[in-house]
Amino acid sequence: MISIRKLAEIAGVSTTTVFRALHNTGRIKPETRQRLLELAALYAYQPPALAPSRSRFVGCLMSRLDVPFNAQLLRGISEALFAESYYLTVQESHCNLLHTRTAFQTFADLDVCGVIALSGHYEPIPTQSIFLLRGKGIPFVAVDASTPTTVPVDRVMSNEDAIAEIALEYLLALGHRRIGYLGPPVSGEHGRSTAVLRAMKKRGVPPDHFLDIVPVPWLSYRQDPHCAERLRDCLSGPRRPTAIFTFSDDMGMFVLKMALRLGLRVPRDVSVLGCSNFTLCDDFVIPLTSIEQFPDEIGRCAVRLLLARMTEQTADHHATTHCIAPRLVMRESCARVPR
């Protein structure tokens, strides 16, 4: 039976493109999709049959599935696994430690061949949950800095220090000196809020408008009157920031909407810089300048690392961390400080 790799080789495309064509997902030209469907039919391609064994299933824990970053991350994971003839079983933590603990127990009971997790809560994943997997020879890869652990584990994440450096360097180059930040509380050494605060101190930017007030789960900030009130006060003050960097693009949109309601002009009165580069950034009322994190690639890298661990003969290895470099994407929400 022809494999997806061979089919991709014949067509002169990537296995990811074949996956998207056969599953009608992602952005792909109609003519390319049709050509790949015809080739699949010609060579009688069939996905490998499901088998209830450890050799086929990978457990994946996501904090929330309604977060755009997580959706793109999950797409990268599923496409990479499919290309290697593995299958995915997904659990949500809802940014709750108890749900994470339950998910790890479920994965162990299912005897999956590996686990990839983004827990999304401040509390570390219980050590006993990690050792539950290790005791059964199940490798584990943590994704993102928001998956804290008390023991070293393999990890794939955005380069949070690089994200903070890009944001500060860009805004300072535009002449901004009163720079604000909106995100979750500072927690741990590798989190984004920690990295931003570190970058501010390094450049002598006063943290007067450093709002690490977004509650977990992060999407709940829209319903949090305290968060909205603090942001309103920040933007209404006599020495309001001339620019605000936000933890994510949806928080950037939150700042944009608040600024416009207060009669501020974006970017003339206040520049707004998001992070993640969601596909909707171009469609905001003011297209949002953002920092691309490449969640698809983070997912694919996590799969490569997991598969490498699965082929090793021993679980006795040093934990490694892979950081994916970010990139600035300039649009219309940031500008130089008016003279």
**pLDDT over 70 for what percent of the chain?**
92
In the DSSP assignment, the letter for residue 291 is E
Query: What fold is seen in the domain 50-157+295-323?
Result: Rossmann fold (3.40.50)
Q: CB under 8 Å to 244, separation ≥6 — which residues?
A: 179, 180, 181, 182, 209, 255, 270, 271, 272, 273
Q: If you average pLDDT over residues 242-251, what whole number do you get?
A: 94
Q: If you average pLDDT over residues 3-21, what whole number do you get?
A: 84
Crossing angle (nearest 10°) for helices 160-173 and 192-203:
40
What's residue 53's pLDDT? 47
In tens, the pLDDT along 194-246 reads: 999 999 999 999 999 998 877 765 556 666 778 889 999 999 988 999 999 99
* Cα–Cα distance for residue pair 59/179, rounded to 1 Å: 41
Closest CA to 220 of 63, 102, 72, 90: 63
Pick the CATH number of 160-293 from 3.40.50.2300, 3.40.50.170, 3.40.50.10260, 3.40.640.10: 3.40.50.2300
pLDDT at 276 over 80: yes
**pLDDT greater at residue 252 or residue 39:** 252
What's residue 217's pLDDT? 59
- 3 state SS of 134: helix
What are the Cα distances from residue 84, in Å, to 140, 175, 309?
18, 49, 14
Rounded to whole angstroms, the maximal C-alpha distance in the chain is 70
In tens, the pLDDT along 53-110 reads: 456 899 999 999 988 899 999 999 999 998 888 999 999 998 899 999 999 999 999 9
User: 37-46, 162-171, 257-266: which range is least confident on average?
Assistant: 37-46
* Cα–Cα distance for residue pair 42/73, rounded to 1 Å: 32
What's residue 25's pLDDT? 65
Q: If you average pLDDT over residues 139-168, what whole number do you get?
A: 93
Looking up tokens 């599923």 gives: 78
- 3 state SS of 115: strand
Beta-carbon-side half-sphere exposure of residue 128 (alpha carbons within 13 Å) = 5
- Reported in sequence order, the residue ranges of 184-295 that DSSP labels E, i.e. its strands, are 210-212, 243-246, 271-273, 290-292
Average pLDDT, the chain: 89
Q: Which residues make up the CATH 3.40.50.2300 domain(s) of the chain?
A: 50-157+295-323, 160-293
**pLDDT greater at residue 43 or residue 181:** 181
Q: Give the amino acid at 225.
A: P
What's residue 51's pLDDT? 42
pLDDT at 316 over 60: no
Residue 189 tokens read as: 């050494």
Q: CB under 8 Å to 38, separation ≥6 — which residues?
A: none
Continuous segment of H or E residues that includes residue 179: strand 179-183
Pick the CATH number of 1-47 from 1.10.260.40, 3.40.50.460, 1.10.357.10, 3.10.20.90: 1.10.260.40
pLDDT at 50 over 50: no
What's residue 48's pLDDT? 55
For every residue of 56-93, DSSP letters joined together read TEEEEEES-TTSHHHHHHHHHHHHHHHHTT-EEEEEE-
Phi, psi of 337 (to 5 degrees): -65, 130
pLDDT at 313 over 70: no
Q: Which residues make up the CATH 1.10.260.40 domain(s) of the chain?
A: 1-47
